[in-house]
């Protein structure tokens, strides 16, 4: 950890010297906090998670335990490989044959079979509707359901849900219309 901190601080010091933006005699005043009537901003926090994670995500062989979701979009929660293992177990137990990619490509207005997914995003839309994004190994799809169903079934990010007979809206592709009767099981 100390090596990482010294590397970060060493890199910042070299960058300041190269740019010539802070002369050495003024840098000591900048670290003391205030120079005259002007307040000098503190240097960047070396423990800032965004600064630490950016280089790690760029490497291919990091050995990270997280598998990024299909959209590769930053999310508040990374779905872990363990979650996908549990999802595949639930699919086997419930004999699920439909995956999200097949639903997205469907031309029908109703999903006739049983399917399952992990809730990746969940947000309120208005006073009575929730928007959610479901993911599985094949992809992700967005859907809407009443907030009462979210409360009734205790839906939250990371929850695995088993759905059946959901209708599809054709809004920028297929969009799930989920009612309380469509939710078969919550894990």
User: Among candidates 123, 102, 104, which has minimal Cα distance to 168?
Assistant: 104
Is residue 60 exposed (0-12), middle (13-18) or buried (19+ Cβ within 10 Å)? exposed
Summary mean pLDDT of the chain:
74
Burial-class residue 150 by CB neighbours within 10 Å (0-12, 13-18, 19+).
buried
Helix (H, G, I), strand (E, B) or coil at 43: coil
Q: Which pLDDT tens digit goes with each residue over 124-151? A: 988 999 999 999 999 999 999 999 999 9
Query: What gap in Å lies between CA 62 and CA 22, rounded to an integer?
Result: 35
| Tokens (6 digits) for 88 | 């595949």
> Could you report the per-residue pLDDT of 45-80, keeping only the tens digit for each?
444 444 444 333 333 444 444 444 444 444 445 567
The yes-or-no verdict on residue 167 having pLDDT over 70 is yes
Give ranges for CATH 2.40.50.140 in the chain. 81-186
Instruction: Kindly indicate the confidence band of residue 11, based on its pLDDT and cuts at 50, 70 and 90.
Output: low
Give yes or no for a contact between 90 and 162, defined as CB atoms under 8 angstroms apart: yes
For position 49, what pLDDT does the model report? Answer: 43
Q: What fold, for 81-186? A: OB fold (Dihydrolipoamide Acetyltransferase, E2P) (2.40.50)
pTM, 2 dp:
0.57
């Amino acid at each position: 950890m100390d090596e990482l901190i010294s590397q970060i601080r060493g890199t910042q010091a070299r960058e300041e010297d190269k740019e010539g933006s802070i002369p050495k005699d003024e840098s000591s005043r900048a670290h003391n906090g205030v120079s005259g009537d002007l307040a000098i901003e503190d240097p960047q926090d070396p423990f800032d998670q965004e600064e630490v994670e950016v280089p790690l995500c760029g490497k291919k062989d990091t050995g990270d335990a997280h598998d990024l979701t299909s959209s590769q979009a930053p999310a508040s929660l990374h779905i872990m490989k363990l979650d996908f293992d549990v999802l595949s177990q639930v699919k086997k137990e419930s004999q699920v044959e439909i995956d999200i990619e097949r639903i997205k490509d469907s031309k029908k207005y109703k999903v006739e079979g049983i399917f399952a997914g992990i809730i990746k995003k969940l947000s309120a839309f208005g006073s009575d509707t929730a928007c959610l994004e479901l993911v599985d190994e094949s992809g992700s799809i967005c859907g809407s359901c009443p907030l009462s169903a979210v409360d009734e079934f205790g839906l939250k990010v990371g929850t695995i849900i088993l759905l059946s007979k959901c209708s599809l809206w054709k809004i920028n592709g297929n969009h799930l219309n989920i009612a309380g009767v469509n939710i078969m099981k919550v894990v």
